[in-house]
Amino acid sequence: MRSSGSILIVDDDPLIRRLMASALQDQGCEVALVESGAEALGQAMARLPDLILLDVLLPDLDGIEVCRRVRAEPLLAEVPVIMITALNDPDARLNSLEAGADDFITKPVDFLELRARVSSILRLNRYRRLLDERTQRQRAEEETMRRNRELSLLNAFIISTAAKLRTARHIEDALHDACRILIQVLDLAAAQAWLLPEQQSSMLSAAAAVDQPGAVVPAILPGQSADQVRWQGDRSLLTMPLTINGRVSGAITLIAAGGRVFDGQEQAFVQSLAGALSQAIETALLHEQLQRHVDSLEGTVATRTNELQVERDRTQAILEALGEAVIVTDADWVIRYANPATTTLTGHSTSDLIGRSWSDIQGDGSTVALYRIIRDQAGARQTWRGEVTGTRRDGSVYDAAMTVAPISDPQLGERSIGLVSIQRDITPLKAAERMKDHFISNVSHELRTPLSIIALHSGNLDTLYDRLADEQRRRLIREVRAQAELLDELIGDVLELSRIDNARLPVAHRPLDLAALLRHEAERLQPLAERKGLRLGVRAAEALPVQGDEAHLRQCIRNLISNAIKFTAPGGTVCCECQQIGADPVDQGDWPASSDIDAGSWAGLRVVDSGVGIGAEHLSHLFERFYRVQNQSRVPGTGLGLAITRELITRHGGWTGVTSTPGVGSTFAFYLPLDGTL
């Protein structure tokens, strides 16, 4: 059951206490029982009950004295007290009322009456509490709204003042705004704000004020106590100082009519606004002072700056226009300048280079050792020239021809104060040299293999001819001829690549039907597929117009089909397809490297086989020269067919692609721009 109230029963008769407690507990009240006045005061302070039933006659203190002490205690002053007495004495009732009793119950107690009176008083007590809570909540809400409004106005004033008060010319406007806000917030009769003359610029008047008509603002002398409330007739006066640069340099004076007293919160608001205004004025004065100082220096600095700027711009333009990387360091090899070509060469931004050691940027430990040699030579005021290898920010390596010269200061006895390095990128030249060496090495190896076999078999024929059976001699002759054909094919491919590299391979551009070329080459290679037991199929559009060289495109198609036949086991399939990409929905996964092309503007040709497949780690190298997958080395070939195909397709404005899955098969494709002349 929900409690309807807390009641303290004070009576020295145990029976009366129990009977009253039982009656009130049945009514839902929480009851505490005491038998003396001293105990009653202690329990009342501990429990703060909703009602006290107090017997007049108690063994220590009488009930009237207890009631008087209850009323004297601030925490208990509002607790209702009902006196219980067996005396029919008007004086006792009068004394009880004077002590603060709220009602009486006469012994013997009528418990129905007791319940009724207790219920009535508890109900009134709840109403009183609700009313007090509502009143306090309303006051709190009103106070919160007032404080929010004050804070909002103060914040708006601070923001507005900070935005407008750029120089002393705007101080007067800020003073007027402050007075206007104070009159609006505090409902004043008048307000005045002023500054001492020494705190003002020549363009600011002596004071600023916002007054209501008829208001008289008394004079406030410098040196008077600030933040004081004074009286003048029925008007109250509040003075708040304006402190600038640590001393009082002005004030805001407020006048309220009707004898109203400025409370603590109003004074705090005025103090906050005055502080914000003082800070803004101090900032404006400081800004004006600094501006005058800056103006005085500008003339002197401008001339020298212009002279230095002209020379600097001339040098800067020369350095930034150079195609070579230029790095200037101090004597400790800490980079102080790097031109844009340095960023291009090293991959490091200018901000990344400045302040770092040159040797840390350039490369590995071996390079650092070389730089020690360069540093010693530069220290002897000698120029060093040579080739170095560096590492870019992305980890790639570059080669450079470098010249390092010392920078001397005549005032320091020609002692070196830094170094200037000029580097020219020779990476393409070095790459070409390495490619040439690698190409010659690969060609020599590829040529030596068939020549060795030819020499071996021809030697066997020469020395063992009479002891060999006819079939053995024919087998050796066929092998010699096969190796000679392979050698001829290799030489042809090498010559083809040589013509491509030296730009001596002309490409004729004339209208062609790519679909017809595919059908013709597939028909020529059909016997080769049949001898191996493969199914070679062709699916091609009726006509697919392109521009190109017929011989070159036939060679590309032949390379892809013959490779598919070589690497497909007997019983497998090779499917050749040719169509316009984008004309119909295309599964991009089946057409390698086709995801970025424009729909309908390209011709695609692919060869799909069910061969051994290629691992993902090899796919990016398949179109490199002489590259062959190790587990497929037993299949004859030069390793140049795919490289030639890519070069020729690139010269036709197209590109190649490949996808493969080991054990499933491979798909090779190339794409050419469509031509509308057919």
State how far the Cα of 632 lies from the Cα of 367, in Å rounded to an integer: 41
How many helices and strands (H and E) does the chain possess?
A: 17, 22
- The answer to whether residues 368 and 385 touch, using CB atoms and an 8 Å cutoff, is no
State how far the Cα of 199 lies from the Cα of 282, in Å rounded to an integer: 9
For the ranges 186-190, 444-448, 574-578, 613-617, the maximum mean pLDDT occurs at 574-578
The HSE-up count of residue 12 (CA atoms within 13 Å, CB side) is 13
pLDDT at 214: 39
Architecture in CATH for domain 431-501 = Orthogonal Bundle (1.10)
Radius of gyration of the chain measured on its C-alpha atoms: 53
- Give the count of beta carbons closer than 10 Å to the beta carbon of residue 652: 20
Structure tokens at 504: 């001596």
Mean pLDDT of 79-99: 77
Structure tokens at 611: 């061969």
**pLDDT class of 587 with cuts at 50, 70, 90:** very low
- The answer to whether residues 519 and 508 touch, using CB atoms and an 8 Å cutoff, is no
- Residue 374: closest CA among 415, 422, 336: 422
Count of positions (residues) in the chain: 678
Task: Classify 636 as helix, strand or coil.
Answer: coil
Sequence-distant (6+) residues with CB within 8 A of 62 are 37, 56
* Rounded (5°) CA angle 190-193-198: 160
Amino acid identity of residue 99, one-letter, is A
Phi, psi of 550 (to 5 degrees): -65, -45
Phi, psi of 466 (to 5 degrees): -70, -25
DSSP line for 328-351: EEETT-BEEEE-HHHHHHH---HH
Structure tokens at 341: 């070509």
- The answer to whether residues 520 and 557 touch, using CB atoms and an 8 Å cutoff, is no
Phi, psi of 72 (to 5 degrees): -80, -15
Architecture in CATH for domain 165-214+224-321 = 2-Layer Sandwich (3.30)
- Distance from the Cα of residue 226 to its chain's centroid: 51
Region of poorest pLDDT, from 133-142, 257-266, 422-431, 483-492: 483-492
In the chain, where are the structural domains located?
Answer: 5-133, 165-214+224-321, 336-420, 431-501, 510-673
Asked whether the predicted pLDDT for residue 160 surpasses 70, the reply is no
Task: Encode burial over 506-515: b for 16+ CB neighbours within 10 A, e otherwise.
Answer: eeeeeebbbb
State how far the Cα of 397 lies from the Cα of 393, in Å rounded to an integer: 9
165-214+224-321 and 336-420 agree in CATH topology: yes
C-alpha distances out from residue 405 to 128, 334, 374, 384, Å: 97, 15, 9, 7
pLDDT at 576: 94
| pLDDT tens track for 37-84 | 888 888 888 888 888 888 888 888 888 888 888 888 888 888 888 888
Mean pLDDT of 18-34: 84
State how far the Cα of 669 lies from the Cα of 666, in Å rounded to an integer: 10
Phi, psi of 29 (to 5 degrees): -95, 150
| pLDDT tens track for 620-678 | 777 776 666 655 545 555 567 788 788 888 888 888 889 998 888 999 999 998 886 55
Average confidence score pLDDT of the chain: 76
Asked whether the predicted pLDDT for residue 575 surpasses 90, the reply is yes
pLDDT at 465: 78
Sequence-distant (6+) residues with CB within 8 A of 284 are 165, 166, 167, 168, 170, 171
Mean pLDDT of 356-371: 65
**pLDDT class of 578 with cuts at 50, 70, 90:** very high
**pLDDT class of 499 with cuts at 50, 70, 90:** low
Domain topology for 510-673: Heat Shock Protein 90 (3.30.565)
pLDDT at 215: 40
| Crossing angle between the packed helical segments 514-531 and 550-566, to the nearest 10 degrees | 30
Choices 3.40.630.30, 3.30.450.20, 3.40.50.300, 3.40.50.920: CATH for 336-420:
3.30.450.20
pLDDT at 288: 77
The DSSP H or E segment spanning 638 is none
pLDDT at 573: 93
Asked whether the predicted pLDDT for residue 150 surpasses 70, the reply is no
- Residue 611: closest CA among 665, 540, 536: 665
Task: State the sign of the Cα–Cα–Cα–Cα dihedral 181, 185, 187, 188.
Answer: negative
Q: Which residue has the higher pLDDT, 220 or 489?
A: 489
The DSSP H or E segment spanning 230 is strand 228-232
pLDDT at 411: 67
Asked whether the predicted pLDDT for residue 302 surpasses 90, the reply is no
Choices 3.40.640.10, 3.40.50.2300, 3.10.129.10, 2.60.40.180: CATH for 5-133:
3.40.50.2300
Region of poorest pLDDT, from 120-134, 200-214, 437-451, 543-557: 200-214
